[in-house]
Amino acid sequence: MSTSAPMTIDTARLQMSWAVAAQYGDQVPLFFYSRLFVAHPGLRDMFPLSMEAQRDKLVTALGSVVSGVDDLPAVAPVLEQLGRDHRRFAVVRDHYPAVGDALLATLEHFLADRAAGREDHHIATLDRRRPEGSRGGAT
Ligand code: HEM
């Protein structure tokens, strides 16, 4: 796959899609973590027994990244800090495809009622944003 073409993202549609999914509240992280742990049971032990706080943290983090996506200089430090925190949680690069797949499946699930063709394009766009080397099969 070529990496030379500049990447553009329709941020307004990203925000609209997230707003639709976010209306489902706690169902969104519940679906996400269920997908993640069914597909990758080994990851469950990395997380606390009670996932209640974690579910909120995930949704808050995703929400603030999506809200700030038009102001990348403001969002970048937040992401960098999150990345550093994840080293502390023993997260490595190879874990990201599993999380990316679960996230895409979650968006697909909650946006299924929307016009399928349009959202498919959007999900494919998100997929291309994943770091080089983290695409493809889950670990
Ligand atoms: C879309 C990418 C991701 C986002 C937005 C995200 C978000 C978050 C947030 C906001 C926290 C809470 C941080 C804190 O308490 O200070 C967290 C914790 C954590 N994340 Fe992620 N994460 C992502 C990717 C991953 C990946 C790839 C893994 C690997 C399995 C992972 C595993 C964990 C673990 C183990 C914790 C700590 C749970 C705990 O002990 O309380 N995350 N994540």
Q: Classify the C-alpha dihedral 71-117-128-137 as positive or negative.
A: positive
135, 3 Cβ separation under 8 angstroms: no
- Cα R_g (the chain), whole angstroms: 15
List pLDDT tens digits, range 65-119: 999 999 989 999 999 999 999 999 999 999 999 999 999 999 999 999 665 555 5
Query: Could you read off the pLDDT of 110-131 as tens digits, one per residue?
Result: 999 665 555 555 556 666 656 6
Distance 36 CA to ligand 1 centre (A): 12
Write out the CATH class of domain 11-128. Answer: mainly alpha
The pTM for the full model equals: 0.81
Atom of ligand 1 nearest to the CA of 62: 5
DSSP secondary structure code for residue 6 in this structure: P
**Per-residue pLDDT at 139:** 40
Ligand 1 pocket check for 22: Cβ under 6 Å? no
Q: Which atom of ligand 1 is nearest to the CA of 40?
A: 30
Closest to 58 in 3D by CA, of 84, 27, 20: 27
* Domain residue ranges in the chain: 11-128
Q: Whose CA is nearest to atom 20 of ligand 1?
A: 86
C-alpha to C-alpha distance for 14 and 73, rounded to whole angstroms: 18
Three-class SS string for 20-87? HHHCCCCHHHHHHHHHHHHHCHHHHHHCCCCCHHHHHHHHHHHHHHHHCCCCHHHHHHHHHHHHHHHH
Assess contact for 132 and 98: CB atoms under 8 A: no
91 lines ligand 1 (CB under 6 A): yes
14-70 pLDDT per residue, tens = 999 999 999 999 999 999 999 999 999 999 999 999 999 999 999 999 999 999 999
Q: Is the CB of 54 under 6 A from ligand 1?
A: yes
